[in-house]
Chain A
Amino acid sequence: DIQMTQSPSSVSASVGDRVTITCRASQGISSWLAWYQQKPGKVPKLLIFAASNLQSGVPSRFSGSGSGTDFTLTISSLQPEDFATYYCQQAHRFPLTFGGGTTVEIK
Chain B
Amino acid sequence: EVQLVQSGGGLVQPGRSLRLSCTTSGFTFGDYAMSWFRQAPGKGLEWIAFIRGKAYDGTTEYAASVKGRFTISRDDSKSIAYLQMNSLIIEDTAVYFCTRVLHGSLGEADHWAQGTLVAVSS
Q: Are A100 and B107 in contact (CB under 8 A)?
A: no
**Closest A residue to B105 using CB positions:** A91
Other-chain residue from B106, B107, B112 in contact with A44 (beta carbon distance below 8 A): B112
Q: Are B110 and A97 in contact (CB under 8 A)?
A: no
- A96 contacts the other chain (Cβ, under 8 Å)? yes
CA distance A84 to B56 in the complex (A): 36
Q: Are A94 and B50 in contact (CB under 8 A)?
A: yes
Q: Are A43 and B102 in contact (CB under 8 A)?
A: no
CA distance A44 to B109 in the complex (A): 9
Q: Are B107 and A96 in contact (CB under 8 A)?
A: yes
Q: B26 — which chain A residues lie within 8 A by C-beta? A: none
- B76 contacts the other chain (Cβ, under 8 Å)? no
- Return the CB mask of A53-97 against B: 1 if under 8 Å, else 0: 001000000000000000000000000000000010111111111
Q: Are B45 and A87 in contact (CB under 8 A)?
A: yes
CA distance A32 to B106 in the complex (A): 9
Q: A38 — which chain B residues lie within 8 A by C-beta? A: 45
Q: Are B47 and A44 in contact (CB under 8 A)?
A: no
Q: Are A94 and B114 in contact (CB under 8 A)?
A: no
Known: A44-B97, A94-B50, A95-B63. A87 touches B44 (CB 8 A): yes
Q: Are A98 and B114 in contact (CB under 8 A)?
A: no
Offer 28 A-B interface pairs, CB within 8 angstroms, sorted by A: A34-B107, A34-B108, A44-B97, A44-B109, A44-B112, A45-B112, A46-B109, A49-B102, A49-B108, A49-B110, A89-B108, A90-B107, A91-B105, A91-B106, A91-B108, A93-B106, A94-B50, A94-B61, A94-B106, A95-B61, A96-B47, A96-B106, A97-B47, A98-B45, A99-B44, A100-B44, A101-B44, A101-B45
In the A-B complex, the 10 residue pairs with the smallest Cβ-Cβ separation, listed nearest first, are: A91-B107, A96-B47, A96-B107, A34-B108, A49-B108, A43-B112, A94-B61, A91-B106, A98-B45, A91-B108
B interface, CB within 8 angstroms of A: 35, 37, 44-47, 50, 61, 63-64, 97, 102, 105-110, 112-115
Given contacts A32-B105, A96-B35, 7 further A-B contacts (CB under 8 A): A34-B107, A44-B45, A49-B108, A87-B45, A89-B45, A94-B50, A101-B45
